[in-house]
Each structure stands twice: as structure tokens, then as C-alpha cells.
Structure 1
């Protein structure tokens, strides 16, 4: 009989072994928090613990988040405070990636450790109070949400439903501690001494998931306990406001093309065209004056080289030369005509501008 009793004790101890880490407590404590909050988890350890540690599963060497042989320590977002056989670990600035299982404990010897399992659940909203304590949750398509519903009384059945929650419209209903049905799930846990907690979740959100939801206990009785929240799901690709949207390159190109064809020329463009025209007019004037001077010099040179004709012939030649000179604009009338043309061109340019 004693041998049988010893064997039973041996197998019980052996079943609690976890590799080389030693004795393990099967207790699982669940904690939760919203984004950016600080969460403090607690676990009981023997007073003779040497090294205190907090690690994420599977707690290999690279999974250790913080460890110390002192009563207090801090490392990044994690801090440890040991007092009266209770190890408190605080995580600051909670994120979604912190939602997982951990181990919290201490080494009882060089080869064994005593620890507890800790689970942290990242929640999008916490409902505390009666049905009037409603909250609105904004989410994006393709994402997941987890809502915590707190109750001070215990009921056997748990449910999660949408809109009016008529009979048979439950998304999930169970008397177990957890239940999953498609994209919807329920998880129940008891927290001493605060009461009961019901976690409801929806995965792979779509815009059709928008609406009112209810999480509750024991809806078959008149003392139905429930809480409500409103879910608004928007498309993840939709921008938050029109003012923050950024036009694409093709849109900018088309806008530029339309503005270049339909909109009037800018003042800078008109002024540039005017400058070009004025430059051309000046070039024409300079060229005309150059030709006029050249012709006048040539005429004078020809007159000086020719022999002096008789009086009648010289008079006729001078008259003919003056006529030619006047024809090319060498006289006053030609100059006046040239100035008139220039003035007309300049007034035309000013009118166009």
C-alpha cells in the first residue's frame, strides 16, 4: 500500500515537470488592457525564489523580457516588483503585439523554477455597467475586434448577438467557458473578487458588420444581464477626409493638360510674347535704317565719281536721283512713312497685350 501511494505521488510530480524548468503551476491568470494603457499582472512565487523572471511563451533564452535577483527591476517597458511572495510585473504602453501568453515566476533552485501562466488580451473597448453604458467602436475592414463585458453576477448561459437579438438570432450562445462559431467567439473568465468577464470578438470585419451588438448572460430569465456597443466598420482604403487625399500623378497630368488647353494664358506668357514682338520690330527698324544709309552713301559716291554733265543733263540726273532716293524712303516723306509703319506696329502690339 505504501509502495502504491509513493508511485502515485511520483507520477503526480512527474506530470507537473516541464522539461528542465521544474515544477509548473497549472493556474492561468487572464488580464486585459486597451491600446496605450499600462497593465500590471501578478503571480505568487515561493519566498525562497532566487531569480525572478517574466517571459513570453515558449520562454526560451531569447524570450525573456525581464529578470532580476533583486526585489525590483526595470527593462524597457517592463518592470518587476516583488513583495510578500507576490511578483508584480507592469507593462507600459500596451500594443496589440502584447496580446499573448507569458510566464511569471522564480527559480527555486539551480535546476527548477516555479511559475504561473499569464495571458494578456488586447481589447478595443471595455463595457462596465448596465445596458445604458453604451460605447461606439470604429474599425477597418479586414481587422479584428475584442470587447470586454464586465458583470458582477454569474449566469450559466452566455450569448453574443446583433441588433434586436431575437430568439435564434444569436451569433454565439454557450454554457461553456469559451465558444467559437465562424468569425464570432465568446470567452468567459471569472475574476475574484471583481466578478465575471465576457470577451466577445469578431474576425475579418466587413462593412456589413456595422450595427448594434449585445453581450450578455442568461437571456432565458427575466433578469437578463447584458451590455451594448455600436460597431462602425469603414473601408480600410477610404481616406479619412477629402482635404487629406493626395491626387495621383495621372490626375495631376490631366489637370495640367486641361489647364493648358482651356484656361487663358497667364500674364507672364503674354508679357513674353510682347517682348518677342517688340524685339522683331526693333530689328526691322534697324535693318531698314541700315539699308537707307547704305543706299544714300552709294548714291553720293556715284555722284562724286561721274563727270560733270552739262547744265541741262546735270539737272535731269539730279532730279532722277532724288526721285529714286525718295522712292526708297530717303526723303522726308519716306522717313515719315517708315515712322508711321513703326507706330502702327507698336500700337497693334499694345492693343494685343
Structure 2
């Protein structure tokens, strides 16, 4: 006889141990630079080993694990508080591009998240537009772009280094005006124009026109600008004889037709004497239609040989070569710019003796003895590398009236010797991370020493120079081909924020460019929304934002590290769908929503909702998601 047993109710919980990737992480970088790959993991895995691997992730494919701090070009750090581990790949090469896996060890199958690394060369571009201009003029750099980037941020930077261009931009389409730089945009013709006023020779060099892409690397075009000086546009040589007249023809650029013209006598612009106002032997006639003026000197005197170029308004400067009877002629090379007038001379021991009686021999500038047979003399307001100041040569040339006189004259223009910054570089970073400060310089300064300094840039304020590779937390590299030097500041702390100066040494005043470094903590946020859900369910993460960011890129990432969030985003408002993640946006209510389907416990942890700002650091809000096991299911089992 069969017995009927009581009904038994059994409560069963089903656990799914399927290993899946929480979205694909796209990472972009440049050859020769570093890149961070940050991978989040769920609650409960803090003490588990993490690693980065390639290929099939066999033992030989593991690149680095959290049991080792550094291995070859890889370093790793596990932030257990943020439940994120970060692998830094240094000195990237083209072969480093491709697929990687972030791994978390556990009993059974490990947890993997796919990473795709895309690399480009850190130079631009195959085609370079060349522009020439002159000092004090204005110049316009025209930057075309594609229709798809009509609403994207535009910017321009100095140098030829895409990796730091936006960070070091001298002006963006958000700011429109920055000192001598202005930016205007014509969306109809799909181009933006950057105008630079009051150009100096320091403005020479490469510029990159940039368009900021919301995902992937930015888009660039290149321009090479050459700024010429009007000084020494033309050098003419003529001979004159004492007591005879001579006429000097002096051309000038048309835009200087209203400037005062003069003939100058003196060492420098600071002591330049206009001889036209002091003597009847000088007559000036200006022909505006020919953009030229002439000066007639009647009855040449030996003292006229002492006239020399000066840096004053539009005018004429006279240098001279003196030749003793029976001596060979000396070759002349005339150079004149805002810094230097240089010329060569040949001399005899007699002329040397005459030079040695120069009246300023006790001046505080260094004097040098022992003239050689051929001397190169450079005149500068602040520095002289000659064996004597140029004034000594004036004494030589006026030594005796019996010398035959050769007069060489040249046209010079007012040159502004103001050291100025070509815009202010704004650099943004996070405490505990590294930051690069890249500074461009003009052509001709490749061999000059560069440095980074603070405060007044005195000797004690210089942080590092190109004569040293590393100094404390600073390292420096000078790329002479790109005419740009980069200082890396490591392990940033709050006290590192503030004003810096990029410096380039030169005769006279150094060239400075101002840098403002702003820092924030690399974690978020004061308020954290907490969400609970269960395995196999779906969950919606709602991310509000301000009205001003309505048209900006939105994204979400795992972990709590703002510095790498956009780079490691699991989905963005550009993509809308990525595996189990979908993103929708309601601009009217100013919020976007990320939905995650088919949840697993590995989805537990922190998430950052991000809004990408065109300038400055991105804006974030935080959510902590807890995924519990499957909801208990009630099964009725009838036993007979």
C-alpha cells in the first residue's frame, strides 16, 4: 500500500557563474607617451589578485599582476577603496596597439574585461601650410574642419604635439579672446580663424589647429609660421671720401610711411642721437610713393664713421669699415635685429692699441683683451662677446683722418623688444597623478637652454632645466625637431597648483610663457546615490546635469577615478549602445539614463556619471550599485 507523504516546500536559489565583460573599454594614446588602463571590479574582490594580459591570457600572456609593482614597461596599482586597478603602459610603441584583458582571479573562471588600445603617432601632419609675416604685423591662421565637427570645440596650440595640444591651447572657441590671440568661427564655410596681433619673432614656429572629438583622438591640421624682421631687409654698400658728399637711399615698408625717419649716431637706441637735428650737413627727403627716403651728407668727416645702427623708430643706421693705407680690405657682414648688430673686421696691432684706449674700459661689462687678426663683434644692450665693446671699434675708425672711409648703411625699423607670453597655458590635473606641461619656442632657439620655474624665476625658483634630465619630481625633454620642450610633474600634490613659467634663455631678457596649473582630488563625490538590484534583473542609473552642459558629451564609467573615466567609459552619448549597456538622454529634464541588463554580481561597485567639458576638468556624480543574488523562488513539490 502506497503511503502519501506530506507536501514539502523547498526554497531554491540559483546562482549564475557566467564570466562576462562589463562592456568594452576603448583606450586611445600616442606613440612615445604613456597611457593608463583602469579596470573596476565588484565588491568582495578587494583581496583577489588582478592582472593585465593579452591573447588567450595564458600564463605567458600575463603582462603584470598586482603581486608586482612594476614589470618591464608596465606598472600597476590597485585602489581597493575605489575598487579599481590601474595599469600604466610607458613609452608606447606601435606594436602595443591591440586587444588586452583586465583580469580578476577567483575560484573557477576568472573575470575578464576586454580593452582595446588604439595608438597614433604624436606628430602632425603630412601636409603643413606655411605662412610668412613680419614683426608688429597681424596674421590670420585659417583652420578648416569637416561638417561632422561643426558643434565641437575648436582650439589652437603651439608646437607639433597632438597629445598635449588641447591642454596647452593658447585659445579655444569657448574663450574667443586671449591676449594677442582672437578666434572667430564661420560654421557655414566650416572653418575657424585665429588672429595674432603685434607679432614678434618668438611667435615663429609650428601651430596645430585642433577639433576636439567626444570619442577617440582629436583631429588636427598644421601651420608653420615664420615671422621676419624688417631690420636688415636690404644692405647696400658704398664708398665715400672725407670732405666729399654722399647720398644714402633708405627703403622702408609701406605701412611705416607715416613714421618719423632719421639718421642715428650712437651705440644703442638708448643713446641714439638724431644727427639731422644737429647739423646742416645732413638733408633728408622722403618719397612716400616709392617707400624710400634719402639722406645727403655733405662734406664727409672722419667722425661720420662712428655712426651706427640703433633700435629706434623707422630710420637709417650707419656702420663702417675702416682701412689703413696699404692694409687689405676687411669683409663685412651686417646683422641687425632687436637683439644684435654684428660685423666682422680686420685690424692691425696699431688699431688694437687704439682700441685699448676706449674710454669705457672700466665699464661694468666684461672687457676682453688679445685681439686676433679677425674679430667677430656683436653689439647688444645687455651682452658683448667681443674682445672689446663695439665702441672700441668706433675709436679705431676715427683714429686718423688719413684712413680711406667705406660707409655701409642699412635700413632698420622700430623693433619692440618686449618679452611677452604667447597666451597663457591652462593645465589641469589630479592630485596623485602626473601632468605634462609642453611649451613651444621659435625657430633659432633649438640649442638654447629651456627651463620651468615659479615665482620671479630667480635662480632658486628654477625647478628643472634642459641641462638635467630629472630633478626631484620633475623630468624634462626637449624635442628640437618639433621645437617644443615638455616638463612632466609627477605625483602631483595640492601645493603644486599655481603659476609657473616656461623659460627659454637668450641674450638679454629670457622668453617666458605663463602656465597656470589647476588641480583637483582624483575621487568623487561628496554625495553618492546607492542602488540595489538582483542578478539577471535590469537597473537604471539616472544622471542629472546642468543646463549649460545640454549639448556636451555624456558618459559613464566604472570605479571612482575621474582622471581616467572618459578614457575608460563603458558607454557614451555618442554610442548609445554597448553590449548590456544602453544610454538615453532627456534634454528637457536635463538628465541621461544608463540601463544595464542581465545584471551579475560582478557589476557591483562604483559608477561615475560624467559630462565632458570642453575646457577644464569634467563634471561627475557618483552611484554605488549593489547586485545581490537571485530573488528566492518558491517551488511546490508534490510527493506521493
The structure with more radius of gyration: 1
TM-score by length of 2: 0.20
Q: Quick check: which one's strand share is greater? A: 2
Q: Quick check: which one's helix share is greater? A: 1
